[in-house]
């Protein structure tokens, strides 16, 4: 398939961001004096919107504002840059540029943090835009982030291609479901933080195991 626009998730797709996120989540549970989730449950926080994961793991809706504030305090202080770019990602991005693909980030992480992270790890030059969630609840799901991306891209000189010319790449089911709301297919990557059986239930168009395999699929150059 000749996709022209590639939307890339950040956490678990481009970045191994679990260390910083989990440490910040631990801080929030400690501050709130709530029962600490298990290690596997803590890992599930990487990728989905923070508020969704928190409610799934013992945080009551009326506690969300305080929980989120405690999380962000730790994340900004220490967790934001406590991560690394997955091996093979820079080569993937170079391949996409050589293939003349338009590439943007679409992440559930707040956009203000996503841009700083991409700048810090020298990823930003590879992207046309970095799109993320709002700090408030006005844009707090992958579907809303993608909607924000599409509206912005529609006003660029290159304009907006049709949904069949776009592809989402992510490591969690919310990437797949969020893109599907806009008629966009998804390639799921296995090096991220998906739970057992997550892709079988979400049914992405393709599943790939390495950045090299992803590059071959996106550029059409074969394995």
Q: Just list the catalytic residues.
A: 9
Q: What is the CA radius of gyration of the chain?
A: 17
E strands present in the chain:
5-8, 15-16, 84-85, 102-110, 129-133, 166-170, 185-189, 206-208
E strands present in 134-196:
166-170, 185-189
Beta-carbon contacts of 38 under 8 Å, excluding residues fewer than 6 positions away, are none
Query: In angstroms, what CA-CA distances link 99 with 39, 86, 93, 117?
Result: 40, 21, 10, 25
What distance in Å separates the CA atoms of residue 156 and residue 89, rounded to the nearest whole number?
Answer: 26
What distance in Å separates the CA atoms of residue 127 and residue 110, rounded to the nearest whole number?
Answer: 17
> Any idea what DSSP says for residue 33?
T
Beta-carbon contacts of 33 under 8 Å, excluding residues fewer than 6 positions away, are none
Three-state DSSP at 166 gives strand
């Amino acid at each position: 398939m000749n996709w022209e626009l590639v939307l890339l998730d950040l956490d678990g797709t481009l970045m191994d961001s679990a260390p910083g996120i989990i440490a910040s989540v631990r801080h929030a549970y400690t501050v709130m004096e709530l029962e600490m989730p298990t290690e596997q449950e803590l890992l599930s926080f990487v990728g989905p919107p923070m508020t969704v994961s928190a409610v799934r793991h013992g945080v009551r809706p009326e506690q969300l504002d305080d929980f989120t504030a405690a999380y962000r305090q730790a994340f900004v202080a220490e967790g934001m840059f406590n991560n690394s770019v997955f091996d093979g990602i820079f080569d993937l991005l170079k391949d996409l540029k050589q293939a003349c693909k338009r590439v943007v980030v679409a992440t559930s992480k707040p956009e203000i943090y996503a841009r700083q992270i991409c700048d810090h790890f020298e990823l930003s030059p590879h992207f046309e835009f970095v799109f993320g969630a709002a700090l408030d609840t006005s844009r707090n799901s992958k579907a809303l982030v993608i909607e924000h991306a599409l509206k912005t891209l529609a006003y660029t000189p290159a304009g907006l291609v049709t949904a069949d010319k776009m592809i989402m790449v992510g490591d969690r089911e919310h990437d797949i479901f969020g893109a599907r709301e806009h008629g966009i297919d998804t390639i799921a990557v296995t090096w991220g933080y998906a739970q057992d059986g997550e892709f079988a239930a979400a049914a992405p168009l393709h599943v790939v195991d390495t950045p090299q395999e992803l590059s071959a699929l996106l550029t059409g150059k074969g394995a």
